Amino acid sequence: MVCGAIQCEEVEQGLEVFLEMRRNGFVPNEFGLGSVMKACGNRGEGREFGLCVHCFALKIGTERNPFVGCSVLTFYAKLGDIGAAERVFESLEEVDVGCWNAMIGGYAHCGYGFEAIGTVSLMRRKGIFMDKYTLINVIQGCSLLGDLNFGRQIHGLIIRGELEFSAPVMNALMDMYFKNGGINSEALKTFYDMLQLGVEANEYTFSNVLETCSRSENQLMNRLIHGVAFKSGFASHGHVCSSLIKGYIKFGRLDDSLKVFNMLDRPDMAAWGTMISAFVHQGFDCEAIRSLNLLIEADEKPDEFILGSILSSCAGTVAYCQTKSVHSLIIKLGFEGHVFVASAVLDAYAKCGDIQSAKMAFNQSCKSNDVVIYNAMIIAYAHHGRVVEALDTYDKMKLANLQPSQATFVSVIAACGHIGHVEKGCHLFKSMNLYGMEPSPDIYGCLVDMLSRNGYLEDAKQIIETLPYPAWPAILRSLLSGCRMHGNRELGEWTAKKLLQLVPHNDAAHALLFKVYSELGNWEDATKAAYKTFSAYEATGQAIIYYLLMAGFLLALCRGVICANRKHVILVHSRMNASVDVGAAVMLSDALRIQSDDFCIVCLKEGVLKKVNELSVLCDSQVGLFLNFSGNGKLCKYCTEASKSVLT
């Protein structure tokens, strides 16, 4: 009765029968005691009961029985007490392969990969046959250690036929290969070896090999394995479908992943979650919400991860009513106390513009004292320009004895920069040392942006020069923007030079330099910067014509290409009204997109010149415009010379 109930997963009933048996004075045999010990090991709250059963086994003298000893050993290993498991193993009178497997599995379960491999070596020296459970346990040990050499030796013995090869063993081998160094080719070769040896794959096999194809970005192999799984009858199994859905999503084949999902008679929560996350990630917010409705109609209860994803889609569509509906569902299902869900609710309300509801959600969940909730509220306040509230929330976070994260400092330092609290921002930056934290690149970026925005340009430069790692384009652009804002020409040139060394063909530096020079009235250097902006894009495959009101000329900077029939682009060069101030400069404001594949743009006569004539009146009002031509090819040498003549 005891063994049968436990084998049928009626653990509570089995333990009750065991207790009733003892009350009536009956002594269970080794199989009853072993089954009870296994049941206690599988129950999180079965520790005390298991210890009592072990004491009883010691009292009646059955602790050295291989079956009982193996169960006791496994019990202690699952508790994490590997020392007690070793003592039980050493006390066994007769050690069979099951006991060896239990000890190796215990080592692997507790993270002692080296000991697991050593035990297998000892087992082999003693000539003890290793079955599939031994192999699975030792391969897991190799995976923990990252010891692929020993794992390959086991693989080689299997291929030579000296060891048993089965689908679970193959799954363990593939798992070892792609968890240690991403050796996906060896994982796929393992699958091929298995087919060659005539071993039938199961759903877990196909799931693992499909995961391998996804990680190696092998789309063709993914489709081939899908075909084999379909032929074997496993294509509609839950684990296989989940792996197929993830793979097709990674390859950008959302339609194929949806077809696989629709093949499932009753999708499990993992499949629903994967599909909904894919819709959200690729911007199909309405489809994500529709999938949630279908899930509820199927009498399924969404988990916290699905609800978090749905809230992200609500924030993406700024669907305030939908956000409130999902929030109500969260409260109904009892997930409002979950940190991931609570932060998603807060973020969704903030992105929908309802900062008061976000604050209410924060007040309800901040009792959990989790740094994620506080970070979400600080970010929400900062995005809404309520910097004082963001800093107050940071102070409350410290009062709650919570350690700020990197994300916390990014938010509060950025907030200080927007309201000019430079001293406060620098103090927050220095306080990171109190928490034993090294500033991340994002934090350095926020610090430089804060200093540059508020005129502390030399301090920002000094930070860039003393960074613990090489400067990157974004941080240099922040300093260059500050130079433009505060009119520092020398530092702007230095920063632009640094930026162009990192990204020579990036026009951001030239564009910012143009703004620096033009705002200082240095039109000669501004013109050169504008021409370099053109040069940086002469091979981009797009034609963009900029019309800038600058130094009394309407300048057309042709960046990109010629039209489909290979005719040359002729630049427009016309003198402006003499009354226009020579120092005037106009930012690009209006844009017209024209597909150059449909017509010839020689001399810009067909459609384009007409538009220029119609909009020429804009020049008198000092408003600039640009036309964007899409096409293929490179700017020819004639157009290059023409553009140079315009700018000289």
Other C-beta atoms closer than 10 Å to the C-beta of 504 total 9
pLDDT, tens digit (0-9, with 9 covering 90-100), for 262-299? 888 888 888 898 889 888 888 788 888 889 888 988 88
Cα dihedral 576, 577, 580, 583 sign: positive
Mean pLDDT value of segment 638-648 = 38
How far is the C-alpha of 50 from the C-alpha of 58, rounded, in Å? 12
Q: Give the residue numbers spanning the domain of 555.
A: 537-647
Query: Which of 310, 307, 312 shows the shortest CA–CA distance to 352?
Result: 312
pLDDT, tens digit (0-9, with 9 covering 90-100), for 361-390? 998 887 777 888 998 999 888 888 788 899
Between residues 279 and 193, the one the model is more confident about: 279
In a domain, 637, yes or no: yes
Contact (CB, 8 A) for 130 and 142? no
Task: Look at residue 404 and tell me whether its pLDDT is greater than 70.
Answer: yes
In a domain, 170, yes or no: no
CA atoms within 13 A on the CB side of 319: 16
Please say which residue of 501, 517, 535 terminates a domain: 535
Tell me the CATH number at 516: 1.25.40.10
| 588 beta partners | 624
Mean pLDDT value of segment 144-150 = 72
pLDDT, position 308? 87
Model confidence pTM above 0.75: no
* Arithmetic mean of pLDDT over the chain: 72
Q: Based on the domain organization, do 493 and 512 belong to the same domain?
A: yes
Q: Calculate the alpha carbon distances from 624 to 413, 574, 580, 586, 595 in Å.
A: 36, 14, 13, 6, 21
Q: Based on the domain organization, do 609 and 545 belong to the same domain?
A: yes
Identify the band that residue 566 occupies on the pLDDT scale cut at 50, 70 and 90.
very low
In a domain, 619, yes or no: yes
Other C-beta atoms closer than 10 Å to the C-beta of 406 total 16
pLDDT, tens digit (0-9, with 9 covering 90-100), for 451-489? 998 999 999 999 999 999 889 888 998 998 888 888 888
Mean pLDDT value of segment 178-205 = 69
How far is the C-alpha of 512 from the C-alpha of 523, rounded, in Å? 14
Task: Look at residue 491 and tell me whether its pLDDT is greater than 60.
Answer: yes
Q: What does the block give as tokens for 170?
A: 């193959």
Pair type for strands 624-630 and 588-595: parallel
489-502 burial, b for 16+ CB within 10 Å, e for fewer? bebbbbbbebbbee
Q: Calculate the alpha carbon distances from 10 to 13, 46, 78, 447 in Å.
A: 5, 14, 20, 60
- Which region among 104-113, 352-361, 450-459 has the lowest average model confidence (pLDDT)? 104-113
Q: Based on the domain organization, do 471 and 559 belong to the same domain?
A: no
Q: Give the number of domains in the chain.
A: 2
Task: Look at residue 350 and tell me whether its pLDDT is greater than 60.
Answer: yes
Q: Based on the domain organization, do 485 and 587 belong to the same domain?
A: no
In a domain, 598, yes or no: yes
How far is the C-alpha of 620 from the C-alpha of 529, rounded, in Å? 24
pLDDT, position 2? 56
Identify the band that residue 147 occupies on the pLDDT scale cut at 50, 70 and 90.
low
In a domain, 186, yes or no: no
Please say which residue of 473, 505, 535 terminates a domain: 535
Please say which residue of 514, 535, 556 terminates a domain: 535
Q: Based on the domain organization, do 472 and 543 belong to the same domain?
A: no
Q: Based on the domain organization, do 601 and 511 belong to the same domain?
A: no
Q: Based on the domain organization, do 548 and 522 belong to the same domain?
A: no
Q: In what order do the strands lie in the sheet with 624-630?
A: 573-575, 553-559, 542-550, 624-630, 588-595
54-68 burial, b for 16+ CB within 10 Å, e for fewer? bebbeeeebbebbbb
How far is the C-alpha of 236 from the C-alpha of 95, rounded, in Å? 43
Task: Look at residue 538 and tell me whether its pLDDT is greater than 80.
Answer: no
Q: Based on the domain organization, do 541 and 642 belong to the same domain?
A: yes
Task: Look at residue 576 and tell me whether its pLDDT is greater than 70.
Answer: no
User: Which amino acid is located at 635 in the chain?
Assistant: L
Other C-beta atoms closer than 10 Å to the C-beta of 343 total 24
In a domain, 629, yes or no: yes
pLDDT, position 623? 33
Q: Based on the domain organization, do 470 and 499 belong to the same domain?
A: yes
Instruction: Give me the phi and psi of 628, to 5 degrees please.
Output: -110, 115
Q: Based on the domain organization, do 548 and 627 belong to the same domain?
A: yes
How far is the C-alpha of 447 from the C-alpha of 457, rounded, in Å? 11
Query: Which of 425, 424, 468 shows the shortest CA–CA distance to 449?
Result: 425
Q: What does the block give as tokens for 502?
A: 């990192």
SS3 assignment, position 588: strand
How far is the C-alpha of 139 from the C-alpha of 113, rounded, in Å? 9
DSSP string over 517-536: HHHHT-HHHHHHHHHHHHHT
How far is the C-alpha of 34 from the C-alpha of 235, rounded, in Å? 38
Query: Which of 411, 431, 253 shows the shortest CA–CA distance to 347?
Result: 411
pLDDT, position 465? 93
In a domain, 311, yes or no: no
The crossing angle, in degrees rounded to 10, of helices 47-60 and 30-42 is 160
CA atoms within 13 A on the CB side of 423: 0
How far is the C-alpha of 626 from the C-alpha of 16, rounded, in Å? 82
Q: Based on the domain organization, do 566 and 517 belong to the same domain?
A: no
In a domain, 575, yes or no: yes
- Which region among 153-167, 218-232, 395-409, 554-568 has the lowest average model confidence (pLDDT)? 554-568
pLDDT, tens digit (0-9, with 9 covering 90-100), for 608-620? 334 434 433 333 3
SS3 assignment, position 266: coil
Task: Look at residue 45 and tell me whether its pLDDT is greater than 60.
Answer: no
Q: Based on the domain organization, do 611 and 621 belong to the same domain?
A: yes
Task: Look at residue 30 and tell me whether its pLDDT is greater than 80.
Answer: no
How far is the C-alpha of 239 from the C-alpha of 270, rounded, in Å? 9
CA 405 to chain centre: 18
Query: Which of 329, 400, 330 shows the shortest CA–CA distance to 363?
Result: 400
Mean pLDDT value of segment 563-572 = 29
Query: Which of 68, 45, 55 shows the shortest CA–CA distance to 22?
Result: 55
